[in-house]
Chains A and B, each alone.
Chain A
């Protein structure tokens, strides 16, 4: 009688989920970093605008 043996594919499962979760985490972090960079730049530009307006009123 031939018995089916389940192959050991655990390492491929780990690799698969490392890629899936790693890519999703990397994308989420990229969104957060981009958002942070834009907010900093916006704040700097708005400060510059405010300073310019202040100097014009003087």
Chain B
């Protein structure tokens, strides 16, 4: 990490980040209001269908986070600038949190609709494997002491691990599944499928937008945290060598 990066991390929070944080909280509140009070109740599933809006949005953020990791990893391999490795690491952590939300909220949605918390369905399996791949990324990184080796490993792993994202996305389109396909499919007969009315569609879009802003905000905060953590490590090393 460049010393300048570390010094910058000690600066007060940028105004843009403060504005972005406030806007994300406001937009998230609007999305939550729309989910609970604006979107109509789905007739077949009842209230539990409202989980759909944030369940899908959380999955979207997870996929986006892992895409950022893969891109940051590729840029790191080209330029060898550690800030890209820190960005990749920050993004993985957020992705893991949101995919966990996606899996658990999906399970809660499934219980009254499918009659079970869990079933060995291709979508559920691929999403869980994807989650485990990125948990392993976080664990394996900790086992490598050399920062450059760790960053190179993280970059290659982040790029290779991203294969799990399109596999998860396509699993309900290519394989036999009971998971509903809301867009671009003929999943109307599957339990959990529903016709999206215009207010539902608007709520869904606002939820996706809100989660995207929340992701960018969290990523910025997490990246700043990682810069300070690096600075702390460097200061400790300096004191030990003195």
Contact = CB atoms under 8 A, between A and B. Distances in A.
A17 B51 contact: yes
A4 B43 CA distance: 8
A28 B221 CA distance: 10
Contact of B239 (A9, A28, A48): A48
Given A13-B50, A17-B51, A31 B41 contact: no
Contacts of B135: none
B218 interface: yes
Interface stretch (B74-82, B98-106, B139-147, B171-179): B98-106
A15 interface: yes
Interface in A11-52: 12-13, 15-17, 19-20, 23-24, 27-28, 31, 34-35, 38-39, 41-42, 45-46, 48-49, 52
A23 B101 contact: yes
Contact of B112 (A9, A38, A39): A9
Contacts of B97: 23-24, 27
B235 A31 contact: no
Interface residues of B, number: 39
Interface residues of A, number: 29
B47 interface: yes
Given A12-B48, A17-B54, A24-B101, A41 B225 contact: no
A13 B36 CA distance: 10
B24 to A, nearest CB: 11
A23 to B, nearest CB: 5
B22 interface: no
A55 interface: no
Interface string B110-141: 01100000000000000000000000000000
A35 B108 contact: no
Contact of B232 (A13, A23, A38, A52): A38
A42 B228 contact: yes
Contacts of A39: 228
B190 interface: no
B239 A45 contact: yes
A6 interface: yes
A9 B190 CA distance: 18
Interface of A: 4, 6-10, 12-13, 15-17, 19-20, 23-24, 27-28, 31, 34-35, 38-39, 41-42, 45-46, 48-49, 52
